[in-house]
């Protein structure tokens, strides 16, 4: 009977290890239950044994409980470590996303500044071109006016010369007639 019960418990433990619902807590409960069953079986035959043997059993159970607690602590620490790793990875991704967004914003701002500078340069160039065209037109107009003035002066000079010649010719004619 004892061998059969041990085999059943070992099979149950094997299933507990193989099952997807395995956790350190279920393992500790399973082992505790197994220890209690063993103690119950041995307790029947412990009637005539000394208390020192029973205290050894208590010591063994305490050792087993300590082992279960240590395993649960390890599992808890491992879960905390995984949580911390996930948190750090999440922070790293968030920092990377923030840096990428800042870089995109900086690039967009620089592009906008470059476009604004280019528009300002184009506006200045257009103003300079218009001013240059206005000055060239003014120079052309001034040259045309100067040419017209010189032509007018030449015509006036030619008319005065013609009048002087006519006057001279008339005086010469008057002298000849006289």
Say which residue the tokens 């807590």 belong to.
25
Rounded CA-CA distance 150/25 in Å is: 117
In terms of C-beta distances under 8 Å and separation of at least 24 residues, what long-range contacts does 62-66 make, across chains too? 64/31, 64/32, 64/35, 65/32
pTM given for the model: 0.38
Give the H/E segment covering residue 90: helix 51-177
Match 């029947």 to its residue by tokens.
44
Q: How far apart are CA 121 and CA 32, in angstroms?
A: 85
Using 50, 70 and 90 to split pLDDT, how confident is the model at 23? low
Exposure string over 132-145, b if 16+ CB within 10 A, otherwise e: eeeeeeeeeeeeee
Vertex 35 angle, CA 32 and 36, to 5°: 85
More reliable by pLDDT, 80 or 38: 80
Note the pLDDT tens digit of each residue in 111-144: 999 999 999 999 999 999 999 999 999 999 999 9
- For the chain, domain boundaries: 83-178
Q: What is the pLDDT of residues 157-175, one digit of tens each?
A: 999 999 999 999 998 888 8
């Amino acid at each position: 009977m004892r061998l059969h019960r041990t085999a059943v418990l070992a099979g149950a433990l094997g299933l507990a290890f193989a099952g997807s619902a395995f956790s350190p807590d279920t393992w500790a409960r399973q082992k505790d239950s197994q220890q209690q069953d063993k103690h119950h079986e041995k307790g029947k035959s412990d009637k005539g044994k000394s208390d020192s043997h029973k205290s050894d059993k208590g010591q063994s159970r305490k050792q087993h409980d300590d082992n279960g607690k240590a395993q649960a602590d390890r599992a808890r620490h491992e879960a905390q470590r995984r949580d911390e790793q996930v948190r750090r990875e999440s922070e790293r991704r968030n920092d990377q996303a923030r840096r990428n967004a800042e870089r995109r914003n900086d690039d967009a701002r620089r592009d906008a500044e470059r476009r604004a500078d280019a528009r300002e340069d184009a506006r200045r160039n257009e103003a300079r071109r218009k001013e240059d065209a206005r000055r060239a037109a003014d120079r052309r107009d001034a040259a045309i006016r100067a040419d017209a003035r010189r032509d007018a002066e030449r015509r006036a000079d030619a008319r005065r010369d013609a009048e002087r010649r006519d006057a001279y010719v008339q005086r010469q004619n008057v002298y000849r007639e006289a």
